[in-house]
Amino acid sequence: NAGVTQTPKFQVLKTGQSMTLQCAQDMNHNSMYWYRQDPGMGLRLIYYSASEGTTDKGEVPNGYNVSRLNKREFSLRLESAAPSQTSVYFCASSEQDFEAFFGQGTRLTVV
Amino acid sequence: AQKITQTQPGMFVQEKEAVTLDCTYDTSDQSYGLFWYKQPSSGEMIFLIYQGSYDEQNATEGRYSLNFQKARKSANLVISASQLGDSAMYFCAMRDFAGGSQGNLIFGKGTKLSVKP
């Protein structure tokens, strides 16, 4: 039972490069989320998707785009990476009234 | 606007003692859910306990209990009989549907708990 799978686990980008973080869940959840975690800031919501075909901005969406490809997959794209996007990124999924399950995180460094 | 506040950046507790981690929240919704997560140094997010806004009883899960005071908008986590393995970051989180939200899940900044032997 894989739960929530994120790839890659680690990534180093140069400023201006683009990349896509992949996330897939096998629990048939409707809701999926992308967070970034920075020291002293907790987890801040970037985007979320309440169901297949819908996405909505969270607290810190600037510089990111998302795609809810299907019910299982929710990807996060950085079109032009900046050093301020150096962070640990978490994907999560949940059913509406229940706890969210998290991936293992992606540690991204932008140089 | 939704908001979760954890006022204790760091806490120390002696092994085998109880500790309370504070969490206050703000929402205009009547229906919401409150969650606590643990993040050990290895980085994974571990769900601990859930309280629904309409639940009349405080939630309990083993050594974890949630002291829910709805009028004060607080949802404090109580850990009884602390163990060395409880040393971690603890995050309070809330899901509601206020302001047109479709149920996003927001987190506080966390409290780092250190258990002393």
Quick: pLDDT tens for A58-73. 999 999 999 998 999 9
Three-state DSSP class for residue A3: coil
> Measured between CB atoms, which of B103, B108, B110 is closest to A96?
B103
pLDDT at residue A101, rounded to an integer: 95
Average pLDDT over residues A75-102: 94
Q: For residue A111, give the amino acid letter.
A: V
Residue B99's pLDDT band, with cuts at 50, 70 and 90, is: low
pLDDT at residue A100, rounded to an integer: 92
- Whether the CB-CB separation of B100 and A57 falls below 8 Å is answered with no
Q: Provide the mean pLDDT of chain A.
A: 94
Residues pairing with A83 in the sheet: none
Using a 10 angstrom Cβ sphere, with 0-12 exposed, 13-18 middle and 19 or more buried, the burial of residue A70 is exposed
Average pLDDT over residues B14-43: 95
pLDDT at residue A4, rounded to an integer: 97
Q: What is the C-alpha to C-alpha distance for residues A100 and A93, in angstroms, rounded to an integer?
A: 5
Which has the higher per-residue pLDDT, A86 or A95? A86
Residue B98 has pLDDT above 80, yes or no: no
- Number of Cβ pairs < 8 A linking chain A and chain B: 61
Residues 6+ apart with CB under 8 A from B54: B31
Nearest CA in chain B to A100: B47
A61 interfacial to chain B (CB closer than 8 Å):
no
